[in-house]
Amino acid sequence: MDAGYRDTGSDPIYTNITNGDLGNGFSIAAIPKAGDIIVRGGSVRVPLNFISNITGVYSTFVEFWTDRGNEN
């Protein structure tokens, strides 16, 4: 698995996902790659899949970070 981990102490552990596997039955089929550029005013559609044959409570959290600031 291509991923990096960051230990944040008592906070959640962050995982840099590059293969689309989000764990617990969740996956992303078309994840943006590091270095991809989204032009100002552009957007990216990221379909999220969930597959499980076991009844239960599931959750995942996905956050995209940028090095270009908080531009709208």
Under the banding of pLDDT at 50, 70 and 90, the label for residue 71 is low
Q: Where are the strands (E) in the chain, listed by range?
A: 3-6, 14-17, 21-23, 26-28, 48-50
Phi-psi region of 35 (alpha: psi -120 to 50; beta: other; left: phi over 0): left
Under the banding of pLDDT at 50, 70 and 90, the label for residue 1 is very low
Domain limits of the chain? Answer: 1-72
pLDDT in tens, 15-62: 666 666 677 788 877 777 777 888 888 888 878 888 888 888 888 777
Predicted pLDDT of residue 36: 81
